[in-house]
Amino acid sequence: MSPYACQFRCSLTPHCEHFSFWSDGGCHLTSYTSYPNPYTGLDDKVVVAGPRLCSSVMPEEAGPTLELEPALGLPPFIAKEAEGCGGLHPSYNLRWKAEGKTFFDDWQFLTLSETHGAEYYLNKTDAFQAGVVYASDHGAIVRVGDQIMPFKRRSVMLHSAQAWRPDRGFVLAMKYRHLPYGAGIWPAFWLMNSDYLWPRGGELDILEFANDEGNKVSFHTSQNCSLNRRKLEECMKNREGVDSDVKAACYTNYTSNELGCWSQQIRRTGKWFAENPGVIATAWDASGVSVFHIPEAEIPIDLRSDMPSPNSWSKWLIAFLPFDAASCIDIAKPQEIVLNIALCGDWAGGAWWKSHEARSTGFVPPYCIPGNVKEPATDCCTIFMSHPTSEKYLKTRAYFDIEYIKVFEPTETEASSLSAGTYRNDGEPLEEPCVPCGTSRWIPNEQPGGGNVCCPGCGDGIFSMTDNGTLECPATA
């Protein structure tokens, strides 16, 4: 939450006349105007307050300014079986790209980190000033920076401002020269929906690995969807280097150890990807997902001419997730692209002791405690990231070097112009579900004093005031 997002929330909430933003991220809304003019606290600008339509409270930085439509109210995703081992669409046209000096124009820079790691995600202005991101005619660099505070290093998490419909089909391609890898380094290139609380809108992990573990393409949803095992076995047989591990159930709930689905696939380490530049391409339509790694010297003419035909790319297939047409209904909403580099934390730090690459750094007991990620002062991975010896290690390993990222849609469809949920919400992720409350909805009040505050955009309702001046949805039977 930012001061601007807090004011924007007030502007959307009926009867809200005044907002107060607190440094801990709290947003306090009232039905009366406490101050006629904007107020900024003197103690490091801890509180920003003002009337709902205050024009003096501006965003920290200018984000993308695109004319996009809300990705809401669309038909549900209904799986369909394709013929053979390909997808439903023979050809695609270019509809969106990030490349050259304008690479970062259509992205949101999110600052929230939820993996208990050593990364400190920067906003766009700070990321450019710190040299964590850089764009030129040759492409873009996204890297890990230096320390910003004890046990934290500068990094970024990028979300595309636009989203694309998997039910209609799209191809996402990233041409890279280098990918991050190494001890404690946890990069990810993935797709998600932010209009609904995770994992209802679906998530597809395309590239995600940590330490020296291999990449695993996986899909997550809140629905009881399964992979088509018959088709999976038919299309992945007789391929060299295939890991036979399969989990067909895509329903995801980490608290009950339901981790989503994945297929038998060719799993490569981050170091392998870094040493074998080329294109990572993902074709996603109503029949399923295909992920390809195309070496730089073998990029086909159809992709080089921005008219890809992924059904002809079988030789480069590394993962195939065919959906079961009978069970996979409403499993995914429009997807935004996410690119980030995390450090240590739940995965890279938690698996530190299991990793030969991590142990070879020398940051092992009794000097530190491996996997103690919630106590950074004693966690082996976090201490390594804070030690001067990691500087050269990270500079030579912890970065993306990307020529382009492109999105293609089926030739027979019109170009979509759907906004990602985080773009509509001022770069803020969806944090809490709205709980039904009659014709309104409400969420617990974040401020001291309790009560409930209305969730803007979730209902009409008539609101009352609590003793502490907070807007509250009415209690209903």
Has residue 24 been placed in a domain?
Answer: yes
Given a contact cutoff of 8 angstroms between Cβ atoms, the answer to whether 471 and 14 are in contact is: no
Structure-token pair, residue 75: 């038909």
Give the pLDDT score at 65.
62
pLDDT digits (tens, 9 = 90+) for 103-152: 999 999 999 898 999 999 999 999 999 999 999 999 999 999 999 999 99
pLDDT digits (tens, 9 = 90+) for 290-343: 999 999 999 999 999 999 999 999 999 999 999 999 999 999 999 999 999 999
Average pLDDT along the chain: 84
pLDDT confidence bin for 443, thresholds 50/70/90: very low
Give the pLDDT score at 453.
45
- pLDDT of 171 strictly over 70: yes
Same domain, yes or no, for 354 and 291? yes
Q: What average pLDDT does the segment 35-50 reach?
A: 53
Same domain, yes or no, for 282 and 368? yes
Same domain, yes or no, for 105 and 34? no
The set of long-range contacts for 231-240, using a CB threshold of 8 Å and a minimum separation of 24, is: 231/81, 231/85, 231/322, 232/263, 232/264, 232/320, 232/321, 232/322, 234/85, 235/85, 235/317, 235/320, 235/322, 236/263, 236/264, 236/265, 236/320, 239/266, 239/317, 240/266
Q: What average pLDDT does the segment 355-369 reach?
A: 97
Give the pLDDT score at 190.
98
- Residue scoring higher pLDDT (304 or 41): 304
Has residue 460 been placed in a domain?
Answer: no
Give the pLDDT score at 53.
62
- pLDDT of 468 strictly over 50: no
Same domain, yes or no, for 318 and 404? yes
| Domain count of the fold of the chain | 2
Give the pLDDT score at 8.
60
Same domain, yes or no, for 10 and 107? no
- Residue scoring higher pLDDT (170 or 9): 170
Structural domain harbouring 37: 3-51
Same domain, yes or no, for 204 and 329? yes
Has residue 211 been placed in a domain?
Answer: yes
**What's the CATH code of the domain at 163?**
2.60.120.200
Percent of the chain surpassing pLDDT 90: 65
- Neighbouring CB atoms inside 10 A of 248's CB total 16
Has residue 65 been placed in a domain?
Answer: no
Same domain, yes or no, for 111 and 46? no
Lowest-confidence segment of 5-14, 269-278, 451-460 by average pLDDT: 451-460
pLDDT digits (tens, 9 = 90+) for 374-407: 999 999 999 999 999 999 999 999 999 999 999 9
Give the pLDDT score at 12.
58
Q: What average pLDDT does the segment 160-189 reach?
A: 97
pLDDT digits (tens, 9 = 90+) for 179-227: 999 999 999 999 999 888 888 899 999 999 999 999 999 999 999 999 9
Same domain, yes or no, for 14 and 112? no
Give the pLDDT score at 166.
96
- Residue scoring higher pLDDT (40 or 148): 148
